[in-house]
Amino acid sequence: MLYGLILNILLWFGMYLIVSLSLNMEYGYGGIPNFGKALSVLVGSVVAGGVVTRILMAVYGVKMGIGGLSTATSVVSNEMTTYIQHNPTLGLVLLVATLLLAIAIGAIVGAVFILPSARLREDYLAITLLAIAETVTMICYYDPAIIGSYYGVSVPDFLAFLQGNAKKLAFVGIVLLIALLTYLFFERLMNTPYGRILRAMKENEDVVRVYGRDIMKVRIMTMAVGSAVAAITGVLLSFYTLRVQANSFMITGRTLWTFYPFLIILLGGAGNNRGVTLGTLIFVTVMEIIDFYKTNIVSILHLPVEAVWLEYILFGVMMLLILYYKPEGLIPEKPILTKPIKKAYETRKPEIARIKE
Amino acid sequence: MPGMEVLTGALIYSNLLALLAVGLTLAYITTAVPNFAQGSFAVVGSYTALTVYRLFRIQPYVSLPLAFVMGGIVGLLSYLLVLKPLIRRGATIVTLMIATLALDLILLGLRGIYAGYLGKLTGSPCEMYMFTYLDFQIFGMPAILVISTLVIVVTFAVLFTLLYKTKFGIALRASMENPALAEIMGVNVEYTRMFAWFLSGALAAMAGCLLPFKQEIVPATAEIIIVSIFAASIVGGLNNIYGALVGGYIVGMSESLVTYWLSTVFGAGMLVYGKVVALAIIIVTLLVAPQGIAGVEWRLVAKKLQKRGAKEV
């Protein structure tokens, strides 16, 4: 029981860390209020469920019959899964190929996503990003031609050669490995001149402009990278459930993949990756413990309802409390210490101390 | 040509959208925060009407005043408990926007719990419902068309009198245009904000009370409608109350009629793309006239066009 809980915490820690780190680059470093973060996760799921499965259908020559996309993908996924049972390399190739495709498409979607609003002020920007994400989610929900709408599509099991416990362990291992790579990637990227421009842009756009940088270009690039990375979680999500269903994104999409990442970032501390990692761990642990005990919680409180509604209220209130009492998060953002600044700090230490007094 | 039914449907939808957009704009003008929970304010009205109907079998139209009060209370509490403390702490716009997202989530959770309780109490599920079967005819027209139009007319008549004919209205407009200056002149900006949020919630809840006559209420209703509300407010100009009225009709009409037209050309599959029209309107407005229709200096545009015309001659 406890073993299962810990494994779940690790799994969702990895999934959420990838999305939160990418949002942290966009919002924590760059100050772009991406209220449409869920879109990039959806893109990853669409690539796994709608694009890769179609490619496989073409390869295997599976035609769409009366059952539509839903049936056709389940036929091709079953076939692929049987192959993978005897041929583990094929499974890993499938995973890597899907991830690369999702990263590429995610980057394109992210860049296009911000185009109409790249010049706007932050409130208009947030509204537009949210509106685009909600609209795309709705189209995926209503139009069965994309990912099978309500009926959903099946995705092949790339770990079909493993069974039971070993399979879950391997999956969690892969998710954590990708999350670690994502962390290292963002740590490096934010220590480049580009990362520093990003932080400067959050503080004062005019200053960045004065130094000859195009705000629009920086925003487009940031959203491309952020969406590409978040699409990874969309792919992993599909391979975990082996199904992609648009209705799971319909109500919960914005909550799970926009609101919760924002909560994580503000809890841990915007603008620094260590804080976000801590925030992810705390958030996911709370969420999984609620999930673990949810039947008990509902019966103790004598509620005729699902625990998910309580979870929404709890996390909503938690967000408000953080915004009010600790808007800088558990680990606040620190100034960038490049070598010259470090030197200046050290030589002027007495002066700085005096100013602080 | 679209039939009468499509036109009346579009008109009803536009009426409701205008009500919702006016509420959003009122809150934006006074507190400078786009309220992402506006859709949930509407759902408060829908559930007020449902509760009264299920428990006492009272026609939902009768619940309009009650919905007004309930929505107003929710709006006022949202401001006092969520936004005011943050504004006092000098929170940024983004922080306030995130706070309204959190508010929306809390209201979604409360809605779920309430729907569960109401369902248990009345013995029938309350997750999805419509009132269309309760509607009747007035002078050969569906009552929802007459009543939603009446609500809009009365709302604007009252709003106009209040803003332009009373002393309170002058204070209100002053604090909307320049809060700091109004405060110096002895206007209590706090009151105007509380008033705006009360009205914002109240108008949204009235729209929500009428919404089930037009479309089904589902758990995601607030999420579905928020795109159209923002579209209506933005196209009219987020800074102008009358812009919201105009925007409501532009977005409501085009969302219904453009999709109808597309469906006659490309087949019924296009009907699901209604929200794309609203989104397209947002994007085009932001690219062409970010201040919205009310923000455009029409005299200058006319002059420019005249000049161009003169040159061509």
The verdict on residue B256 lying in a domain is: no
Q: Distance (Å, rounded) from C-alpha A175 to C-alpha A170?
A: 9
Give the count of beta carbons closer than 10 Å to the beta carbon of residue B157: 10
Q: Does residue A302 lie within any of the structural domains?
A: no
Q: Nearest CA to CA, how far is B263 from chain A (Å)?
A: 14
Gap between the Cα atoms of B100 and B95, Å rounded: 9
User: Domain of A141?
Assistant: 2-253
Coil, helix or strand at residue A333: coil
Q: Is there a domain that residue B186 lies in? A: yes
**CB-based contact (8 Å) between B2 and chain A?**
no
A108 domain-assigned:
yes
- The band of B313, judged by pLDDT with boundaries at 50, 70 and 90, is low
Distance from CA of B235 to the nearest CA of A (A): 12
Question: What's the gap in Å between the CA of B97 and the closest CA on chain A?
Answer: 8
In a domain, B247, yes or no: no
Helix (H) or strand (E) segment spanning residue B90: none
CB contact under 8 A, A134 and B275: yes
Would you write out chain A's pLDDT as a tens digit for each of its 357 residues?
A: 788 899 999 999 999 999 999 999 999 999 999 999 999 999 999 999 889 988 888 888 877 776 678 888 888 888 888 888 888 899 999 999 999 999 999 999 999 989 887 778 888 889 999 999 999 988 888 888 888 777 888 888 888 888 888 999 999 999 999 999 999 999 999 989 899 899 998 888 888 888 888 888 999 999 999 999 999 999 999 999 888 887 777 778 889 999 999 999 999 999 889 999 999 999 999 999 988 888 787 777 777 677 888 899 999 999 999 999 998 888 888 777 777 777 777 777 766 666 665
**Are the CB atoms for A288 and A12 separated by under 8 Å?**
yes
CA proximity to A24, closest of A268, A248, A345, A247: A268
Please count the structural domains in chain A. Answer: 1
- For residue B172, what pLDDT band results from cuts at 50, 70 and 90? confident
pLDDT exceeds 90 at position B52 = yes
E-strand spans in chain B? 137-138, 141-142
Three-state DSSP class for residue B123: coil
**How many C-beta atoms lie closer than 10 Å to residue A66's C-beta?**
5
On whether residue B153 sits in a domain, the answer given is yes
**C-alpha pair distances (Å), B172 with each of B42, B73, B178, B241:** 24, 20, 10, 13
Residue B128 DSSP code = S
**Structure-block tokens of residue A33:** 């209020």
Is A259 near chain B, with CB under 8 Å? yes
In a domain, A50, yes or no: yes
Specify if B92 maps to a domain.
yes
Helix (H) or strand (E) holding B234: helix B221-236
Encode B115-144: b = buried (16+ Cβ within 10 Å), e = exposed: bbebbeeeeeebeebebeeebeeeeeebbb
Facing B273 at nearest CB: one of A139, A266, A317? A139
Residue in chain B lying closest to A28 (CA): B94
- Chain A residue with minimum CA distance to B126: A305
Contact A26, A223 (CB under 8 A): yes
Contacts of B282 in chain A (CB under 8 A): 127-128, 131
pLDDT score, position A162: 87
- The number of distinct structural domains making up chain B is 1
Cα distance between residue A143 and residue B137, in whole Å: 35
Q: Is B117 on the interface with A (CB under 8 A)?
A: yes
Sign of CA dihedral B57, B59, B60, B66: negative
Residue B228 lies in a domain: no
Closest CA to B204 of B47, B1, B8, B3: B47
- What ipTM, to 2 d.p.? 0.90
Q: What is the pTM of this model?
A: 0.91
In 3D, which of A29, A43, A13, A41 has the Cα closest to residue A256? A41
List Cα–Cα distances, B202 to A294, B94, B154, in angstroms.
35, 25, 14
| Structural domain of B123 | 4-221
**Is the CA virtual torsion A178, A180, A181, A186 positive or negative?**
positive
B124 inside 8 A of chain A by CB: no
B120 close to A (CB below 8 A): yes
Is B184 a domain residue? yes
Please tell me which residue of chain A has the smallest CA distance to B277: A135
Mean residue pLDDT across chain B: 89
Determine, yes or no, domain membership for B125. yes
* Residue B140, H or E segment: none
The neighbouring-strand residues paired with B142 are B137
Query: Residue A117 has what pLDDT?
Result: 79
A85 φψ region: left (φ > 0), alpha (ψ -120 to 50), beta (else): alpha
Cβ–Cβ below 8 Å for B113 and A303: yes
On chain A, the residues whose CB falls within 8 A of the CB of B117 are 304-305
A235 to chain B nearest CA, in Å? 24
Position B171 pLDDT exceeds 60? yes
Does A139 reach chain B within 8 Å, measured CB to CB?
Answer: yes
CA angle B39/A250/B8 to nearest 5° reads 50
Residue B32, Cβ neighbours under 10 Å: how many?
14
Does A135 contact B275 at a Cβ distance shorter than 8 Å?
A: yes
Closest CA to B210 of B18, B37, B74: B18
